[in-house]
Homo-oligomer: A and B are copies of this chain.
Amino acid sequence: MSGALKDATIRVERPAKTLRELALDKVREAIVNGYFRPGDRLVERDLCAQLGVSRTVVREVLRHLESEGLVANLPNKGPIVAQLDIDEAKQIYEIRGALEGMAARLCAERSSPEIVAALEESLTGIRNSYRDNDMAAVLANTSSFYQTLFTMVDRHVAWGVVNLLTVRINHLRSMTIKTERRSIEGPAQMAKIVDAIRRGDGEGAYQAAMDHVAAACAIAEAVLSAKKSAE
Could you list which residues of chain A lie within 8 angstroms of chain B, going by C-beta atoms? 16, 20, 56, 59-60, 63-64, 66-68, 75-76, 87-88, 91-92, 94-95, 98-99, 102, 154-158, 161, 165
Q: Within the oligomer, what is the number of copies of this chain? A: 2
Q: Are B155 and A75 in contact (CB under 8 A)?
A: no
Q: List 16 additional contacts besides A20-B63, A67-B68; criterion CB under 8 Å.
A: A56-B56, A56-B59, A59-B60, A60-B60, A64-B66, A64-B67, A88-B156, A91-B155, A91-B157, A95-B99, A95-B158, A95-B161, A98-B98, A98-B99, A157-B165, A161-B165
- Main DSSP-derived SS at the A contact region: helix
**Chain B: minimal CB distance from A79 (Å):** 12
A-B contact pairs, 16 of them (CB 8 A): A16-B76, A56-B56, A59-B60, A60-B60, A63-B63, A64-B64, A91-B157, A92-B157, A94-B102, A95-B99, A95-B157, A95-B161, A98-B98, A98-B99, A161-B161, A161-B165
Which chain B residue has the least Cβ–Cβ distance from A150?
B91
In the bound complex, CA of A55 to CA of B81 (Å) = 26
A214 to chain B, nearest CB (A): 13
CB contacts (< 8 Å) of A102 on chain B: these are 94-95, 98
Q: How far is the CA of A98 from the CA of B209 in the complex (A)?
A: 14
Cβ of B88 and Cβ of A157 under 8 Å apart? yes
Other-chain contact of A91, B64, B91, B98, B156 (Cβ < 8 Å): B156
Which residue of chain B has its CB nearest to the CB of A17? B75
Give the CA-CA distance A95 to B56 in the complex, in Å: 35
- Nearest B residue to A73 via CB reads B18
A91 x B158 contact (CB < 8 A): yes
CB distance from A217 to the nearest CB of B (A): 13
Q: How many whole Å from A107's CB to the nearest CB in chain B? A: 14
